[in-house]
Each structure stands twice: as structure tokens, then as C-alpha cells.
């Protein structure tokens, strides 16, 4: 498997203008989110060699401080960091925030004092659990997310929070000689770019984990669609794709080498979908519990009345069961192989996925690993 680890920033230029990372290519990242859903990790199920980085989800924010969210987190983190004995190149980060955990970010980032309190608490957690860095998952600066507090000042304060985190990481590294990784999870839509200063943000972080999925969700979109298209299908009403998002972030000032392409290990489902075009880009209704982990797709859909189709424009598969009028957009080894080749071709920083336990077989992670070490094994259609 692909085992080369990302080498974090080890030298910094601290000045009034900020903290800049040294130029130059870095080995590819394979970052997986491990999300135990507020429960204990079972011993043994995580392959320490399939990823270069684990992002543990999620730490919480309480009273302006970053805190461990559940009683199981300490033992879970110890279990994950113990994997470095088997693979010393593996990095273990903790992710803070997330879709349901971003309510306090605007307050945290608001003033120099509030940022200092948060940063100090983050450092205490990194030290206590011997972690390799922090992934900031603010969903989203300047936008309400799930009804969170937000402010116009979030745009600048987000940059300041990351700048001050980087400066603290640099000072810590000078004392400990241990480099710390700083990443963000970024929304794959234009409003995210317009509400952030990505050209400045990228100066202070190692990578942007670009959430290039959920372009279509049954709860929000009455029309079916590819929820993680690589390229834009001309017949797609929304005209979205990972490629379009990557180009938008590059245009906003993020170097390709700092963009980590996000892929989903789960599918999105609609029901009451007419059989026109095998259900693609047709009206439909949400399916209760319509989030479908790849485990479920593989065990209950493939070979169980669903027919697999391939969107040759977007380079992704989808399923349709005509009898039940159910449509499923998902990712599989073929599409991930093409995306891996895209990462190589476009000189991106690597691949990120949500989330590890959605594919207990390891089939999807294996496809990513193989594609990133065998660039000529698959063919990407360039657009």
C-alpha cells in the first residue's frame, strides 16, 4: 500500500506580514476521518498502513475552549496514536468542529483574547494526547451552517485564528523539535470562497481538505444528481463538480499542492424517482435514513436488484432500482481510481475521505492507495 507520509512544515519566517511556509513539493497525503460517533473504538479494525494521516472527529468547543467531547475520546486517541508503532510515518490529528460542532467558532475567533484562549486549550490537548496537529473544521465562516452564530468579521477572523495557531505551532516546534500539522476542512462551494481569504489562509496551513462531495443531497435537492462528480456533466442542472471546485480554489490563491481532494465513502439516496435516464437528474423524494455507507451499498444493493450505471461525463457511478424507483449516488473503486489519477495529473496534495468505518472491507481505501502509486493504471478523461 501507499505508505509515504506527508512531511509537515519545519521552518517558518515570522514577520509582521505573517508566517509563510517554504516552497517545494511534498509527498502525497491520504487522510481519513475516523468518526466513532461518540463511542469507543474497537481494537484492531484500523489499518495503520493505508493512510498517511488520521483525522479524529471531533473535539468540541465549550466556553471558548477546545475540549475533549466524550469520555471515550482519551482511550480512542491513545489507541490511534499507538498505531504509529506499526507505521512511524502515520500522523494523528484531532479535528475540531464539524457540521454539528461549529456553533462557537465565530465567538472563538472574534478577538485576540478569545483566540488566545482557544489556541492555548488546543495546545493542551495536542500535548496531553501526543497528537501531530489540528484540523479546523469550521462550517462555515460568515455563514450560518446549522443555524450557528456568524458575523461579517468571520472572514478576517478566520485568517487571524489560523495565523495565530501557526505562530504558536512554530514556537512550540522550536522548543520540542516536533513539527505540528495545521489543516482545515473547506466547503466546496463559491460562498465559502467569498466568505474567506483563501490566498492568505493558505499561507498558514499545510493543506485544505476540500469537501468535494454532497453536491446533491436528497433532503436539500428535490432533483437527483451525482453527489461527488469529478467533472461537470453538461446535463447537470447545478453544473457542479470536484474539478470545478479545485479550479475555483486555485483561482482564489490556493496552490494545487495544498489541495487535498475529498471523497465520500458513502452514498446519497432518493425515492419515487422516474425511470427516465435511469433516474439521473430526475425529481425524487428523500429516503428515510438516506445516508448509505459503502458497507450498506455493497451488502444490500449491489447484486440485490439495483443496476449500476456510469456517468461518462462526471466519471462516477450511480445505482437505480426501477422496481422501487430508488436512485443512489455513490463512490466505488473505479471512480476512486480515476480521482487518484486526477490528483497525480493535477499535482494536488492528496486525497481525504469521510469516513473510515463506512467501508470495513478496505476496498475503497485500497483503490485510493493503488491509484496514487500506479499513475498509469487508470485513465482520466481531462476536461
Q: Which residues are catalytic?
A: 139
| Separation of alpha carbons 200 and 358, rounded Å | 34
| Separation of alpha carbons 202 and 157, rounded Å | 14
| Separation of alpha carbons 290 and 319, rounded Å | 14
> Quick one: which H or E segment has residue 116?
helix 112-128
Strand 29-34 relative to strand 53-62: parallel, antiparallel, unpaired? parallel
The set of cell numbers assigned to 170 is 512554530
Give the CA angle between residues 16, 191, 233 to the nearest 5°.
125
| Separation of alpha carbons 373 and 303, rounded Å | 30
| Separation of alpha carbons 67 and 45, rounded Å | 26
Tell me which long-range contacts 108-116 makes (C-beta under 8 A, separation of at least 24): 108/61, 108/64, 108/161, 109/141, 109/154, 109/157, 109/158, 109/160, 109/161, 110/151, 110/153, 110/157, 112/160, 112/164, 114/64, 115/157, 115/160, 115/161, 115/164, 116/164
> Quick one: which H or E segment has residue 266?
strand 266-271
Amino acid at each position: 500500500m501507499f505508505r509515504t507520509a506527508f512531511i509537515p512544515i519545519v521552518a517558518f519566517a515570522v514577520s509582521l506580514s505573517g508566517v509563510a511556509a517554504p516552497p517545494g513539493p511534498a509527498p502525497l497525503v491520504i487522510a481519513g476521518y475516523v468518526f466513532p460517533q461518540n463511542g469507543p473504538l474497537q481494537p484492531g479494525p484500523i489499518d495503520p498502513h493505508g493512510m498517511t494521516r488520521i483525522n479524529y472527529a471531533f473535539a468540541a468547543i465549550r466556553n471558548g475552549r477546545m475540549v475533549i467531547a466524550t469520555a471515550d475520546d482519551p482511550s480512542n486517541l491513545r489507541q490511534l496514536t499507538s498505531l504509529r508503532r506499526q507505521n512511524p510515518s502515520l500522523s494523528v490529528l484531532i479535528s475540531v468542529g464539524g457540521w454539528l460542532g461549529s456553533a462557537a467558532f465565530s465567538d472563538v475567533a472574534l478577538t485576540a483574547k478569545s483566540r488566545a484562549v482557544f489556541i492555548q486549550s488546543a495546545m493542551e490537548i495536542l500535548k496531553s494526547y501526543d497528537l501531530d496537529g489540528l484540523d479546523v473544521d469550521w462550517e462555515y465562516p460568515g455563514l450560518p451552517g446549522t443555524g450557528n452564530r456568524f458575523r461579517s468579521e468571520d472572514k478576517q477572523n478566520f485568517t487571524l485564528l489560523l495565523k495565530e495557531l501557526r505562530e504558536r505551532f512554530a514556537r512550540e516546534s522550536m522548543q520540542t523539535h516536533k513539527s505540528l500539522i495545521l489543516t482545515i476542512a473547506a466547503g466546496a462551494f463559491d460562498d465559502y470562497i467569498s466568505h474567506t481569504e483563501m490566498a492568505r489562509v493558505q499561507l498558514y496551513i499545510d493543506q485544505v481538505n476540500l469537501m468535494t462531495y454532497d453536491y446533491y443531497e436528497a433532503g436539500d435537492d428535490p432533483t437527483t444528481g451525482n453527489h461527488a462528480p469529478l467533472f461537470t456533466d453538461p446535463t447537470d442542472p447545478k453544473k457542479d463538480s470536484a474539478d470545478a471546485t479545485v479550479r475555483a480554489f486555485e483561482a482564489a490563491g490556493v496552490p494545487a499542492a495544498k489541495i487535498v481532494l475529498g471523497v465520500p465513502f458513502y452514498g446519497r439516496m432518493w425515492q419515487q424517482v422516474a425511470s427516465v435516464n435511469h433516474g439521473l437528474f430526475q425529481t425524487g423524494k428523500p429516503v428515510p435514513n438516506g445516508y448509505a455507507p459503502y458497507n450498506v451499498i455493497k451488502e444490500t444493493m449491489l447484486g440485490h436488484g439495483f443496476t449500476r450505471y456510469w456517468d461518462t461525463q462526471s466519471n462516477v457511478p450511480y445505482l437505480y432500482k426501477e422496481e422501487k424507483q430508488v436512485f443512489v449516488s455513490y463512490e466505488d473503486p473505479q471512480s476512486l481510481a480515476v480521482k487518484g489519477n486526477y490528483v497525480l495529473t493535477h499535482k494536488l496534495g492528496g486525497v481525504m475521505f469521510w469516513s473510515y468505518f463506512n467501508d470495513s472491507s478496505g476496498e475503497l481505501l485500497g483503490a485510493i492507495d493503488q491509484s496514487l502509486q500506479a499513475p498509469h493504471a487508470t485513465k482520466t478523461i481531462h476536461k
